[in-house]
C-alpha cells in the first residue's frame, strides 16, 4: 500500500523533505505510520511525545488521537504538521 506523506512547518525541517511516498503493509494504521516515521526520523520524537501537538489529516479529514487505529487506504494523502496557534 502506498501513501503520500506531506510534512509542514518544523516537521519539514526535521525530515528535510516536503513530501514522500511511503510503501506500508496492507492494513497499516495511523499509529503504525507514526511508529514507522519515528524510527525513520529520530528528530520527530520531540513532537510526538505529546500527541495533541501534532495535526494529522488523511485525505482532508482531521484525525483525532482517538482515531490512531484507523486503517490507511491505498493512495491516501496524509499531511502531518503542527497545529496553528495565534490570537
Look up the CATH number of the domain holding residue 70.
3.10.20.30
Residue at 86 is within a domain: no
Encode pLDDT of 26-71 as tens digits.
999 999 999 999 999 999 998 887 656 789 999 999 998 899 999 9
Residue at 14 is within a domain: yes
Task: Kindly report the pTM of this predicted structure.
Answer: 0.90
Total domain count for the chain?
Answer: 1
Domain that holds residue 22: 2-81
> Does residue 46 sit in helix, strand or coil?
helix
Grid coordinates given for 67: 482515531
Residue at 87 is within a domain: no
Encode pLDDT of 3-25 as tens digits.
999 999 899 999 999 999 999 99
Q: Which residue has the cell 504538521?
A: 81
Residue at 54 is within a domain: yes
Do strands 2-7 and 76-81 pair parallel, antiparallel, or not at all (unpaired)? parallel
Amino acid at each position: 500500500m502506498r501513501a503520500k506523506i506531506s510534512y509542514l512547518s518544523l516537521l519539514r525541517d526535521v525530515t528535510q523533505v516536503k513530501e514522500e511516498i511511503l510503501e506500508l503493509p496492507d492494513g497499516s494504521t495511523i499509529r503504525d505510520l507514526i511508529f514507522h516515521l519515528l524510527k525513520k526520523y529520530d528528530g520527530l520524537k520531540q513532537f510526538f511525545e505529546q500527541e495533541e501537538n501534532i495535526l494529522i489529516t488523511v485525505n482532508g479529514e482531521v484525525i483525532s488521537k482517538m482515531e490512531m487505529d484507523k486503517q490507511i487506504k491505498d493512495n491516501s494523502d496524509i499531511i502531518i504538521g503542527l497545529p496553528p496557534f495565534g490570537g
